[in-house]
Chain A
Amino acid sequence: MNYLSTLLPASTEIFLLAMVCAILIVDLFVADPGKTLTYLLVQLTLLGCALITVATHQQGVVYLFHKMFVDDLMSDVLKLLSYLAISVMLVYSRSYLMVRGLFTGEFMVLALFALLGMMVMISASHFLTLYLGLELLSLSLYAMVALQRDSATATEAAMKYFILGALASGLLLYGMSMLYGATGSLEVAAVSDAITHGVQNKQLLVFGLVFIVSGLAFKLGAVPFHMWVPDVYHGAPTAMTMLVGTAPKLAAFAFVMRILVEGLQPLMAHWSGMLVILAVLSMAVGNISAIAQTNLKRMLAYSTIAHMGFLLLGVLSGDVEGYGSAMFYAVVYVLMSLGGFGMIMLLSREGFEADTLNDFKGLNQRSPWLAFIMLLLMFSMAGVPPTVGFYAKFAVLSAVVNAGHIPLAVAAVLFSLIGAFYYLRIVKLMYFDTPESHVPISIQPDSGLLISANGLAVLALGIMPGTLMSVCAVSVRQSLLLVH
């Protein structure tokens, strides 16, 4: 009994794993093509996860399994947001996938496995745990992208994603092995201690760091490791794109925090320089390439690259404020892309993908409300107040200026100006042009309600951003203060 009670901090992961296995079996007996029972079970599982996470929350930082697993405020907040993102993703994708015959038990089970992977990553305090979580996440995502077997583009996307992802994992592992060679440990805190107390072979350490940063950049999709992003976003069915593009970014943020900040903080002088290059290139390439896109999913892919560059800016400012702003940025980004991809799925129907820019022409005449929601999302992505996207940029820029990198801040705002152009183009298409198609838009009530909530959340959080900002800042600060 005593041993079991020490497992409490990991109980959510255990619960989720048990439920995934159960759902896998239950699904075999669900004949209904809509998979209602499975779907409800999955949503209940997510709710259960949220309840358990809240109920088992403990003050401070709790280590488990010989310091391989950590439970702190940051991990709890990120996990709760991941459940929310997955749950929202399922609501948006349900009818979209149903008409395409893809709303299967496997889809949901894989989504939950991906979630489990993210949770392990978020709570990892050991390089091996991090790696295991990452692989569980990645393998589930590869499979999901490939789920539409008869689509050539989806298969191609999955192949690219898999090969490049495997390469990135290899780089990460290689980097980790060098760190192990230099410090003699794979435990995040121990690595940090070892480096602070001086290591013999600094060169090996920095060499390992380069590999680790490259691997991270791959997973985040930062330039020059971004090549997979547009192809995967474009090729995969939109529901899978949404899954790839939203919640995993939260896990990726946690990954950056655990490795670079908690583990390799003493090497900050080295990695912050690398991040500067990644961030500036990502913002430049992402924003400029996005202008040329005619496919909305591809455009959002490039916009993601640019957003990740912005997120890295927050990290590279190298103080608690910066990490807090990066976390806030990640959360806001997830909220906005859920809405963006959700809108594409909402406007799609059987045999028709609303994923080119022209499909948004004249949306204001077809449905003023949806156009308004999309307007909010686009202005938020562009960082125009009073939407929450502005405060995300504001927080990051504030941290960057605070760290004394004013030229970086100026570069960042100039690239956001370029970015504003293509977001504005969507607004222009929706409001200024006349529609090409007059097919009535039919929306399921649940996803219609959700997209409204999603859009209004972008506005409401923009008017009252204080709470979410503080939550992010406090959770990052607590985790870091208690670790060191």
Chain B
Amino acid sequence: MIFGLPLLSVAIWLPIVFGILVLATGGDRNAPMARGIALAGSILGFLVTIPLYTGFDKMTSAMQFVEMRDWIVRYSIHYHLGVDGISVLFVLLNSFFTPLVVIAGWKVIEKRVAQYMAAFLIMSGLVNGVFASLDAVLFYVFWEAMLIPMFIIIGVWGGPNRVYAAVKFFLYTLLGSLLMLVALLYLYNQSGGSFEILDYHQMAIPMTAQILVFIAFFTAFSVKVPMFPVHTWLPDAHVEAPTGGSVILAAIMLKVGAYGFIRFSMPIAPDASHKLAGVMIALSLIAVVYIGLVALTQTDMKKLIAYSSVSHMGFVTLGFFIFNAYGVEGALLQMISHGFVSGALFLCIGVLYDRVHSRKIADYGGVANTMPVFAAFFMLFAMSNSGLPGTSGFVGEFMVIMGAVKANFWYAFLAATTLVFGAAYTLWMYKRVIFGAVANHHVAELKDITAREKLVFAILALTVLGMGLYPLPFSEIMHASVNDLLVHVARSKL
């Protein structure tokens, strides 16, 4: 507690309140005011999460900054918030990205500005709620509620095929969520009337039930991650979403699914997790290898990065289900790094799209000649995406591969192919877009990035390099929680 403030509640509700304020500015006449309030709200929202990091006790795996109030007494549902070393990082990541998205949409979004900004702010608060909830129903409410702003963002400000993408996104995720709801109700019933997630961690569950619960959670989380074969909504949603939407989708939304595995599936159904680990690893490796190859063939930059995200998230789920410290910590670092890198890459594509209005790789070529500063930033992010040592992308991948070697050489071998494929599709795309002769008059007329865009990229570049060179601040905070998780998952609950 800093100044006696319930920090997690503030982190959740402050952006939402600012979002409502932004909405209250009304039509596009007041767009500058809407932008101003949104920026203030998002920066404040980030600032209030900093004490979560500085005040965090790294030695314990217990929940911190806990808040507990009665909410729905009849079902003993509580407004129960708290973060451990795993979730606190994602609260920070999410709050960090909101101002960047607001700045990125500053000039680009011209119609219904207030609604756009408000949707992002409200979503930011809801996502913080997902990461901070310790009550299953509270978690579920935030988890579902964040679909609504994302649905609107894709559908209103998206590309030509946005309606299809928005509806597909919504229905896919809703299917998984509803099955999870049934699983939660089952757990509530079995635990004798508790919706506390931490109670579920301690509860004995028979094997068949564990497997069914695992499958229900799996449908919910695998769709969000997304894992092969339920990843098909992601390229559609990414391609059609506006830049800000893609950034949040890639940087934050996908992490929510992976977080679900750590918070629900593995500790609640450890025996089923071990039993089904083979399937999970197989699906993860298919994502890494096959989707990596799919990415190679893309002609649309956004689609390429979308497939690259699926491939990288395959690494994350692989890391989780080999059940060792390297794997899990590597996977978590990979999630954070992928947040920064994929967010940055979508912003890069957004910069190009705003100027040329095309996402086709073939429409570009020789951009380095007209936008040298941009090309340099893009280079760094592309390198990080392909896992260059010294950038954030390397740390997580390396640790997961190390963990995989311990589990089985062939897992590691297949996972390591990503270093080849990742480099291939990212750098090949980079080469075709940035290098070579100036392809057409659109490229010839390009203006380099503005100070506003430079600021966003500079912040991200520093983070990517910082995390690559000195990952300790990220990893030390999660040690205790990860170890506790692994001890917990290793214990049978039959």
Contacts and interface: CB of A to CB of B under 8 A. Distances in A.
B182 A406 contact: yes
A466 B155 CA distance: 33
A413 B145 CA distance: 17
A386 B188 CA distance: 20
A466 B145 contact: no
B141 A390 contact: yes
A425 B73 CA distance: 35
Interface stretch (A127-135, A171-179, A330-338, A414-422): A414-422
B182 A413 contact: yes
B388 interface: no
B74 A469 contact: yes
A469 B73 CA distance: 9
Contacts of A437: none
A470 interface: yes
B72 A466 contact: yes
B294 interface: no
Contacts of B162: 432
A305 to B, nearest CB: 20
B73 A413 contact: no
A420 B174 contact: yes
A432 B169 CA distance: 15
B182 A431 contact: no
Given A379-B148, A420-B170, A432-B155, A385 B141 contact: yes
B166 A432 contact: yes
B140 interface: yes
B145 A397 contact: no
A428 interface: yes
Given A398-B75, A398-B188, A409-B182, A424 B170 contact: yes
B40 to A, nearest CB: 22
B178 A417 contact: yes
B364 interface: no
A410 interface: yes
A151 interface: no
Contact of A401 (B112, B145, B186): B186
B147 A384 contact: yes
A38 B178 CA distance: 48
Contacts of B186: 401, 406
A432 B163 CA distance: 7
B72 A469 contact: yes
B167 A401 contact: no
A444 interface: no
Interface in A239-283: none
B147 A402 contact: no
Contacts of A368: 115
A15 interface: no
B67 interface: no
Interface residues on A, range: 35 or more
B152 interface: yes
Contact of A384 (B145, B152, B175, B182): B145
A431 B155 contact: yes
Contacts of B174: 384, 417, 420
A323 to B, nearest CB: 14
B171 interface: yes
A465 interface: yes
Given A385-B144, A390-B141, A427-B151, A416 B74 contact: no
Interface string A451-484: 0000000000000011001100100000000000
A377 B316 CA distance: 38
A417 B172 CA distance: 9
B277 interface: no
A473 to B, nearest CB: 6
Contacts of A432: 155-156, 162-163, 166
Interface in B142-162: 144-145, 147-148, 151-152, 155-156, 162
Most buried by A among B71, B156, B182, B189: B182
A207 interface: no
A435 to B, nearest CB: 14
B293 interface: no
Given A385-B140, A397-B181, A401-B185, A466 B73 contact: yes
A465 B72 contact: yes
A431 B74 CA distance: 37
B472 to A, nearest CB: 39
Interface in A386-410: 386, 390-391, 394-395, 397-398, 401-402, 406, 409-410
Contacts of A416: 178
Contacts of B156: 364, 431-432
Given A379-B148, A401-B189, A432-B162, A466 B71 contact: yes
Interface string A188-229: 000000000000000000000000000000000000000000
B152 A431 contact: yes
Nearest to A410: B182
B167 A414 contact: no
Contact of B179 (A391, A410, A425, A469): A410
Contacts of B181: 394, 397, 413
Most buried by A among B75, B144, B162, B170: B75
A380 to B, nearest CB: 11
Contacts of A427: 151-152
A378 to B, nearest CB: 10
B309 to A, nearest CB: 25
B368 to A, nearest CB: 37
A316 B474 CA distance: 52
A384 B178 CA distance: 10
A406 B152 CA distance: 33
B69 to A, nearest CB: 11
Contacts of B140: 385
B163 A428 contact: yes
A469 to B, nearest CB: 5
B185 A428 contact: no
B167 A397 contact: no
A431 B152 CA distance: 7
B216 to A, nearest CB: 9
A428 B115 contact: no
A414 B178 contact: yes
A406 B179 CA distance: 11
Contact of B178 (A379, A406, A413, A428): A413
Interface string B118-152: 00000000000000000001001100110110011
Contacts of B74: 466, 469-470, 473
Contacts of A390: 141, 144
A8 B266 CA distance: 61
A145 B306 CA distance: 55
Interface string B164-200: 0011001100110011011001101100000000000
Interface string A356-371: 0000000010001000
B44 to A, nearest CB: 23
A413 B189 contact: no
B141 A401 contact: no
Contacts of B179: 410, 413
A307 B186 CA distance: 22
Interface string B416-449: 0000000000000000000000000000000000
B30 to A, nearest CB: 13
B145 A385 contact: yes
Contacts of B71: 466
A420 B182 CA distance: 17
15 contacts: A364-B115, A384-B144, A384-B147, A395-B75, A398-B188, A402-B185, A416-B178, A417-B175, A421-B167, A424-B151, A424-B171, A427-B151, A431-B156, A469-B72, A469-B75
Interface of A: 364, 368, 375, 379, 384-386, 390-391, 394-395, 397-398, 401-402, 406, 409-410, 413-414, 416-417, 420-421, 424-425, 427-428, 431-432, 465-466, 469-470, 473
Given A391-B72, A432-B166, 6 more contacts: A385-B140, A394-B185, A398-B189, A406-B186, A420-B171, A428-B163
**Lowest 6 CB-CB distances: which A-B pairs, in order?**
A413-B178, A385-B141, A401-B185, A466-B72, A432-B155, A385-B144
